[in-house]
Structure 1
Amino acid sequence: MKKVFITIFLAFVASLTFAQLTSSGSIGESYRNFMVQSTSFLNPHDFVSFEPIGGTDRFFSEKWENGGARNLNDAVIANKDYQFNYDFLKHELYAKWKDTIITVDNNYLKSFYIYNGNSRHNFCKILQIDPENFVELLSADTLQNKIMLLKKRTTSIRKGDKASPGSNYLGNFSDAYNSKTEYFLLFPDKASVKINISKKNILEKLQPSYKRKAETILSSERSLNDTKAINLINALNQ
């Protein structure tokens, strides 16, 4: 009974807030769409900085960043007044407008992007890689009939334990975060394969029709990093 009451109360608060925002005209239509599709409203005082709650070990950035998001109805919020951050532990997108912060419901979110300096990072849902959570599209944003280089990051937490001898010895009882990063190729025929960012592994995992061109492109490369792998896939897509 208590659970039902809380659910009804939260729905009422969301509806009331939406009505107030609509009548005031102080916020754009796109953000109102995201407001009613949010899973929760967050206390802005808890998110002045992300560093105390995990920083970049847990989040895309240790601070709010510019970006944009698109929901399933193709409503877009994207200008200097909106800021974002992504939680790789909970797989949630946080959106901020002035003092209003929401967690966007992933079920209503099609894609989003966040800037890191001048670098734009695009995130989308790829069912073949992860049917529930977002992955980062590393290759150029040309989704139709092209190879996609994708990056999936997940974060786990190890809670601080005051009873641990090691924690007591070091005097450190804070939580620890562990990140895992995986890379994938998604081909135009929708086949996907997990890869390592290495010259040998990528050449092994590429479909036969791409291998000769890839060998030519990589002939002078002894090793690969993320940037070189991205350049390779973009070149194969030309």
Structure 2
Amino acid sequence: MKVGLFIPCYIDQFYPQVGIATLELLQKLGCEVEYPQGQTCCGQPMANSGFEHLTHGCNELFIKNFAAYDYIVGPSGSCVLHIKDHLHDPHQEPAAQSIRNNIYELVEFLTDVLQVKTLPAKFPYKVGVHQSCHGQRGLGLSQMSELVAAPFSKPMQLLNLVEGLEVIPLDRTDECCGFGGTFCVFEEVVSVKMGKDRISDHVKHGAEVITGNDVSCLMHLEGILRRQKSPIKVMHIAEILNQSI
């Protein structure tokens, strides 16, 4: 299958190792991966701030870069969800619809499309999993704890395949970290307090590494951990799944 690799802005600028890990992981699992060089922002920051009418140029460019691929895969639940829900173009709506139907967050792609059952990765650490709101509530990557339903978690499904990795339990499995895009700017104090509460749950249960599938959330948590001078590391799930393959 031909996969177009979608790398959001903040990963490209601040966490390029996540993009590289995603590329390597997909290639090692047998995908033919291409990175369209002309890709830029998907438009999510503008749309989330009430300016979706200004995202038409982003939509046109996204369609131009990704219309030719069987699948589009990105290591970011929030950006992928934005494309799934909001990519439209009155002049290219069939192409936009095709992309909306064929774009996947990385974990979703590995579990639902590739149906990965074995993964020769090694990571001998205690890992806490942060379930990001976009991934959980928007993409359905894991069950919401307030629902009376059988629990599931696609990220944990993959992490349990990694040799030596111990997923630690948490008291609040799906609490928001407080990042929330521009929320962390306009409501800084509330955002930081939520992040500190999220981290304390991981600390309480002995996490050595905090992982998740949204770098935006992990970036927020990492900033707090650095200010606390904590030894806990933050890693995107792609980096862990790509270990020692």
Q: TM tier, shorter chain?
A: under 0.3
Instruction: Identify which of structures 1 and 2 has the higher relative contact order when contacts are C-alpha pairs closer than 8 Å and 6+ apart.
Output: 2
Name the one with the larger strand percent: 1
TM-score, normalising length: structure 2: 0.26
Name the one with the larger helix percent: 2
